[in-house]
Chain A
């Protein structure tokens, strides 16, 4: 037990001295949350879109104004001529423009807003459809009422990104705990020195896991706190499930890290492979954008990634989305199984002679 306590202390000191590990574990999730929160908080839909409107004398303005007022999601700014509207569009003072000259609806888009124009075009199609009816004195006959299902109120797009970022930080910290830290110890022959002492490999492994678990848990809490305090986001956290899930997913991804450490020829390559794996997962796991917009083969790949399920479960335990109990516990147990199957391999890796 004394040796275990010594190992725990040593692991804490090593982590505290490792600037890169500190940065990646604590600072990066916060930077990600803050940057994406401010940059992308208003993106992802046409809600709050700003329309520039110009109506030369020929336009039946009142009908169009009524239609635009009925849309409700947009703010309308009037312009005295088409060039002023186009200038405002170029300078991004408005999101899209409309010229109604009594004969046609001419929608203007800024050609360089490639990521946002899709949402504005959808909105424009709705405006045109409604205006066409109103222009002929007709009322919409086919109405549709949108009903939000689920117990939880709509939380907004960025609220679901934050748990995704937390899941990603667990993935990185877990992968790098093994592929970065333990392989570095292997490369420096520190493991060779340790295995000739009475210490059992399981002790070292347990110390690494314990320290990383606590660090990852604290890191996710800090990230949550920043999101709540700075970005004013609200989460309803199921603490017991949260704790169980963070623990199981951290050990699960550490298991994946062991797999990487075992398949690479040189220990130092493990962290590079872990980098590639985590980056790939970050883009394909539906953290920043819905997987539905991806081509079918990327969607299939997304379903095979643990981070996709980790992000889903993290959204559930933070109260952002719903999930069946069976699915949540399925993901949690799957991560534990991953750890139970793969971490013993890490024990063997510790005592295995270096191939490099």
Chain B
């Protein structure tokens, strides 16, 4: 028992002393959690996103009963101011320089949209006020071009698409407001809109709560895939293992100690991710419940076994790392850790189907309430089959000493 604990301690100490291990197993998952939460955590939240747009008001006739063009321009100007101090405005609105002709300004803004420097340019045409007034009095839709705003967009730009959908929402609000003021839309008869979140939590799952289990599994996976064959094969190639075998320590004791050390490293990794997620990004997901703990343990053991499998099929440490590198990306991305895996061709579907990460990610997320569904037998059975196959292959093939 003492020997096992010593090997576990040695494994953990070595891992924590190695800069490369420290980076990939501890720092990188923390970095990924932080960067993805910072980028996607507040997606769509006003004050966090901002699009560069221009509003060009070509209407010259403002003498009518209502200056609709001025109202629309004013609404967008308002959206160009921060909703509260310290926050960013939804739109950064560019205006013509003093003395610049509107046509010249429009031409330069359209060019800026072409080159991706503006997300959209809204143009209010000349004759808009009169046309809109007529349209409001009519019963049917008008086909006059003067009533229609022109929105210049760059369809190849994702930012343009996002900005356009926000502009549409703002215009819908303005339209409803105008119709209400004209007494045509009856606000008291408006159809209320409600939202229902389907899923075990019953509320919208926050991005950090969705991401955190995925990053924890990624950490365990990378730890098993690179850490286990790396440690064993380098120790074997550098004849460190040979020194163990001249002590009373048996392979079984070494294996047990190594596994305990690996699980301790996973525990350190998990604790750091949980602390960062909870205290820096406000994650509320609760890992401390029986099913979640079971899946965390199952994941750590599956990837430990998988690491032994990679070590057993590689002749040298460098080959082991090359195999791990090739397996890493496809398994990680086709395990549904970060994106949903749907609509794939048959070959990739097959990888998803046999990938233990698919089942572990689903199992952990379902147990945490961040994914809808039920815990079927396959969710536990597939990782167990992987453990059995990996252990069988490793005990058959893994060599514990360099060939003499």
Interface residue ranges, A against B (CB under 8 Å) = 19-20, 23-24, 27-28, 31-32, 35-36, 38-46, 86, 89-92, 97, 103-119, 121-122, 124-126, 128-133, 135-136, 138-150, 152-157, 159-160, 269, 272, 275-276, 279-280, 283-284, 289-296, 298-299, 312, 320-324, 327
A residues within 8 A CB of B158?
44-45, 157, 160, 289-290
Contact string, B196-219, partner A, CB cutoff 8 A, digits 1/0?
Answer: 111101111111001000000000
Which of B46-54, B234-242, B299-307 forms part of the interface with chain A?
B46-54
Q: Within 8 Å CB of B88, what residues of A?
A: 296
- Judged by a CB distance under 8 angstroms, whether B325 is at the interface is yes
A-B contact pairs, 7 of them (CB 8 A): A40-B339, A104-B193, A117-B204, A139-B141, A143-B149, A292-B159, A312-B116
Q: Are A39 and B344 in contact (CB under 8 A)?
A: yes
Closest Cβ–Cβ distance, residue B355 to chain A (whole Å): 13
Are the C-beta atoms of A104 and B141 separated by less than 8 Å? no
**Nearest chain B CB to A161 CB, angstrom units:** 10
Given A19-B322, A154-B155, A322-B114, A28:B329 Cβ within 8 A: yes
**Chain B contacts to A: CB under 8 angstroms:** 19-20, 23, 28, 31, 35-36, 38-40, 42-44, 48-51, 72, 88, 110, 113-116, 119, 121-122, 132, 135-136, 140-141, 147-159, 161-169, 171-176, 178-179, 184-186, 189-199, 201-207, 210, 318-319, 321-322, 325-326, 329-330, 333-334, 339-345, 348, 365, 370-373
**Are B23 and A144 in touch, CB under 8 angstroms?**
no
**Is B156 within 8 A of A292, CB to CB?**
no
Instruction: Point out the residue from B48, B154, B166, B178 that lies within 8 Å of A141, measured CB to CB.
Output: B178
Chain A minimum-CB-distance residue to B120 = A146
- What's the nearest-Cβ distance from chain A to residue B239, in Å? 20
For B329, give the chain A residue with the smallest CB separation: A31
Residue of A nearest to B138 (CB): A139
Contact yes or no, B318 A138, CB < 8 A: no
| List of B residues within 8 angstroms of A23 by Cβ | 322, 325-326
With A35-B329, A105-B192, A106-B196 as contacts: A143 and B39 at CB distance below 8 Å: no
Q: Which residues of A contact B113 (CB under 8 A)?
A: 149-150
Looking at the assembled complex, report how far the CB atom of A208 sits from the nearest CB atom of chain B, in whole angstroms: 21
Q: Which residues of B contact A89 (CB under 8 A)?
A: 198
Query: In the complex, how many angstroms separate the beta carbon of B358 from the nearest chain A beta carbon?
Result: 13
Complex formed: what's the CA distance from A301 to B299 in Å?
Answer: 36
CB pair B49–A293 under 8 Å, yes or no, is yes
Q: Is B132 within 8 A of A112, CB to CB?
A: no
CB distance from B48 to the nearest CB of A (A): 6
Q: Given A20-B322, A39-B344, does the pair A111, B191 have CB atoms closer than 8 Å? A: no
Inter-subunit contact B162/A292 (CB<8 Å)? yes
B72 and chain A: residue at smallest CB distance: A142
A293, B151: Cβ atoms under 8 Å?
Answer: no
Contact indicator A105/B342 (Cβ below 8 Å): no
**Does A118 contact B43, Cβ atoms closer than 8 Å?**
yes
Contacts of A284 in B (CB 8 A): 35
Contact of A131 with B343 in the complex, beta carbons under 8 Å: no
CB distance from A322 to the nearest CB of B (A): 5
The 4 closest A-B pairs by CB, nearest first: A154-B155, A111-B199, A129-B172, A142-B175
Taking the closest CB of chain B, its distance from the CB of A249, in whole angstroms, is 19
Q: Which residues of A contact B175 (CB under 8 A)?
A: 129, 133, 140-142
Q: A39-B339, A283-B35 are in contact. Are A293 and B162 (CB under 8 A)?
A: yes
Q: Are B154 and A27 in contact (CB under 8 A)?
A: no
Contact A108 B199 (CB under 8 A): no
Do B157 and A20 touch (CB < 8 A)? no
A133 touches B202 (CB 8 A): no
Given A112-B372, A122-B165, verify A145-B155 contact (CB < 8 Å). Answer: no
Cβ-neighbour of B154 out of A91, A92, A149, A275 (below 8 A)? A149
Is A148 a contact partner of B155 (Cβ separation < 8 A)? yes
Contact between B154 and A110 (Cβ–Cβ < 8 Å)? no
**CB-based contact B326/A27 at 8 Å:** yes
A19 to B135, CA, bound (A): 69
- Complex contact A152–B156 (CB within 8 A): yes
Q: Are B156 and A105 in contact (CB under 8 A)?
A: no
* Residue numbers in B under 8 Å from A42 (CB-CB): 343
| Chain A: minimal CB distance from B201 (Å) | 6
